[in-house]
Structure 1
Amino acid sequence: MEAKASLYNKSWKRCRLSNQLDELVRNSFLRDYLQETQGVADVAVIGGDQGHEIPVHGEVHTISGGFSGGGCTTSQQKRYARTVMSVEAQEADDALDVDLVFTKADLRDVVPHDNDLVVISVVTVGRKVHRVLVDQGSSADVMFWMTFNKLQLSPDLLRPYTGCLYGFVGDQVEVLGHLELRTTFIDGTTSRTENIRYLVINAPFAYNILLGRPTLNRLRAVSLTMHMKMKLPGLGGKLITIKSDQKEAKRCYENNLKTKRGVFMVTTRAPSEEGVANQR
């Protein structure tokens, strides 16, 4: 009987305590305590196996658009996705299955540098174009208006482009249009030619052309600033190695510093509805 009475008293005390806590919660006396404990629980879940708590307040995504991923519209992106996933496209790419390896031998002709950029030369429209910046951070392939004129191209070749180009700090750059040019990458007697769609912009820049991710992915190319080279597979299982012009890279970088226009990563995004309405 004594054991049953003791068990009954403990149960009654727990029930009474529970009712008192519920009353305090209803009267908002424990609101701060509940919020604090909930925040700690969320941090513990996010941290996982980490040794310290890292609160996460949101997520940051990259800006996409332009020709990266197929285009600005949903239909262009879906068509691009179908092309990428097709068996025919995968079989055709097997001809360019070459291992891109960088070794110590690639460092022998490299002049010690302080984080120089990879600047190469390409051939397009029958002319060799120097000061071509290889920029993995750019989502667009850009040709500058001055280069367009030096190549003696007609403005009639430009097709309309509905998107916008933005620099690193968000400043908008005028887009005159886009065109597709056959561009050749040469390594001695070995070369490879591909059609590249350039966005033509009217903005001062120390480089003639900016090669971004669309072309690098299309070429299956890899560039390393440490080795000052870009490598890409050639036809017939050959490897194309293009050395960076370090003198030209330093000169371009210094020119950018003099004009207070640092090298920026170009991203693309479609114009907002408000911007389109203002243009009208």
Structure 2
Amino acid sequence: SIEKYCRYHRDHGHDTEECRQLKNQIEDLIRKGHLRKYVDRDAPQGRREQRREEAPRQQVEQQQQQQPRGVIHTISGGVASGGDDSNARKAYGRQSLAVQQVPHSKRLRTGGDEEVISFSEADYEGVRLPHDDPVVVTLLVELFTMKRILIDNGSSADILYKHAFDQLMIPVEMTFLVVDTPSPYNAIIGRPGLNLLEAIVSTRHLLMKFPTRFGVGEVRGDQEVARR
């Protein structure tokens, strides 16, 4: 009919209120939430008040669920955190605030600047997968073969246990914390030692790599010793 006009289609034949495509389009927009404010405006008064009451209650419940029960502070110490003196630790903390403003220092090692340390499938040789074993290595320390050395990049100190220190009977060039306590390990090489060696550790590969003058050096973890 010429008398009927649809503003949605901009054509004659049916009224805008009778347009099925327009109704379907509006319902689709409502489901997607694009017309939520218009739907609330046309809703009954009682329903609007109920929604206003439910919204703050839901927000309070969400805040209560997200609010932490307490704070667990990180326990750290040793030379990597500035030392045992409180003033030294505070100064160390202030230095971390400006770390992005300090240019990178030159490499401590004599290896080439273009040396790339990477891990590949070939590095899985000899590793039994899957595993959650620690990286336990054997190193030659001043002509002593020292076994059961734990590589731990989560440790803020290099630790040498007293029973191993007494057997060495030599001056220690690397700064270690000598600990007199029973331990399954003779020593722990933490972040200070790893950073000094510029070493990269892959716990997945049970392998530690580090730059040398002759290329990339490797120290492989002993999986059998780690499981004892």
Measured in 1, the distance between the counterparts of 2:213 and 2:82 equals: 25
Whether 2:154 is the aligned partner of 1:133: answer no
Deviations along 1:81-121, whole A, 9 cap, x unmatched? Answer: 49x7765x712448565432111010123234632211112
Partner of 1:243: 220
Q: How many Å apart are 1:215 and its aligned residue?
A: 1.6
Whether 2:91 is the aligned partner of 1:91: answer no
Whether 2:65 is the aligned partner of 1:56: answer no
Tell whether the 8 Å contact from 2:151 to 2:190 is kept in structure 1 after alignment: yes
Which of 168, 179, 195 is matched with 1:201 structurally? 179
Tell whether the 8 Å contact from 2:139 to 2:149 is kept in structure 1 after alignment: yes
Which 5+ residue runs of structure 1 have no aligned equivalent?
Answer: 1-32, 44-52, 158-180, 183-195, 252-280
**SS of the counterpart of 1:215?**
helix
Q: TM-score, normalised by structure 2?
A: 0.60
Measured in 1, the distance between the counterparts of 2:63 and 2:110 equals: 50
Counterpart amino acid of 1:138? S
Q: With a CA cutoff of 8 Å and minimum separation of 6, indicate the structure with the bigger relative contact order.
A: 1
Q: How many Å apart are 1:224 and its aligned residue?
A: 2.0
Q: Percent identity?
A: 30
Measured in 2, the distance between the counterparts of 1:152 and 1:94 equals: 28
Q: How many Å apart are 1:75 and its aligned residue?
A: 4.4
Indicate how the Cα distance of structure 1 residues 91 and 54 shifts in structure 2: closer, same or farther if over 3 A, else same: same
Runs of 4+ in 1 over 6 A off after TM superposition: none
211-220 vs 222-231, greater mean Cα deviation: 211-220
Counterpart amino acid of 1:73? D
Q: How many Å apart are 1:235 and its aligned residue?
A: 3.6
Counterpart amino acid of 1:56? P
Partner of 2:60: 39
Partner of 2:188: 210
Indicate how the Cα distance of structure 1 residues 217 and 203 shifts in structure 2: closer, same or farther if over 3 A, else same: same
Q: How many Å apart are 1:64 and its aligned residue?
A: 2.2
Deviations along 1:149-187, whole A, 9 cap, x unmatched? Answer: 11124xxx6xxxxxxxxxxxxxxxxxxxxxxx24xxxxx
Q: How many Å apart are 1:71 and its aligned residue?
A: 1.3
The CA RMSD measured in Å over matched residues stands at 3.4
Counterpart amino acid of 1:212? G
Measured in 2, the distance between the counterparts of 1:219 and 1:242 equals: 12
Which of 180, 200, 212 is matched with 1:222 structurally? 200
Measured in 1, the distance between the counterparts of 2:87 and 2:67 equals: 38
Q: TM-score, normalised by structure 1?
A: 0.50
User: Is the strand fraction higher in 1 or 2?
Assistant: 1
Measured in 2, the distance between the counterparts of 1:94 and 1:130 equals: 25
Which 5+ residue runs of structure 2 have no aligned equivalent?
Answer: 1-53
Measured in 1, the distance between the counterparts of 2:195 and 2:75 equals: 17
Indicate how the Cα distance of structure 1 residues 103 and 127 shifts in structure 2: closer, same or farther if over 3 A, else same: same
Q: How many residue pairs were aligned?
A: 169
Partner of 2:168: 151
Which of 69, 85, 88 is matched with 1:73 structurally? 85
**SS of the counterpart of 1:68?**
helix
